[in-house]
Amino acid sequence: MTIRTRRERERAEREALIITAARELAEAEGWDAVTTRRLAERVEYSQPVLYSHFKGKDAIMAAVAVEGFADLAEELRAARAAAPDARGALAGVSAAYTGFAERRPALYDAMFGQSVDLPFATPQAPAALHASFGELAEAVRPHAGDDDLGLLTEMFWAALHGLVTLTRGGRLPPGRHADRLAFLLARFTN
């Protein structure tokens, strides 16, 4: 192993450590608790070392969001692949999406609720963003008929996100979550 290879590996490991620490701190205490000072203490590196990897908290949050989209894509892919048919795939993806948001609220906030410097819905968007949207699109595809697949997928995603956001915000009672998902699926699959 060359010195350069070792340094690149160590740099990548430090970045991963910083991102993991930010995720853990945000999940435990919320994004307001995530500061470069606290992260530096947690990862046992100086703040200048953090700034050599990321421009600041916003850049760290964007890196967390990209990881979140990769995680979401994996969960959506697994749910879709495990389904016996197209309707089951859409139901599985819906449950996986809303379950992800429920289990990982701070991560979901980094992905969708916080202002992060990431391009969305453009060719320049990180691959993880395209992958998670692509998994939604593959679940919607069998139900699209002659409709524009991209637009229909956006509407389905918006409905899922709205359900998550309104339920988390206390605007919709959580006890009817399954009924809402069933109603949404019925509208997309009939």
pTM: 0.91
Angle at 168 between CA 120 and CA 115, to 5 degrees: 30
143-155 pLDDT, tens digit each: 999 999 999 999 9
126-177 pLDDT, tens digit each: 999 999 999 999 999 999 999 999 999 999 999 999 999 999 999 999 899 9
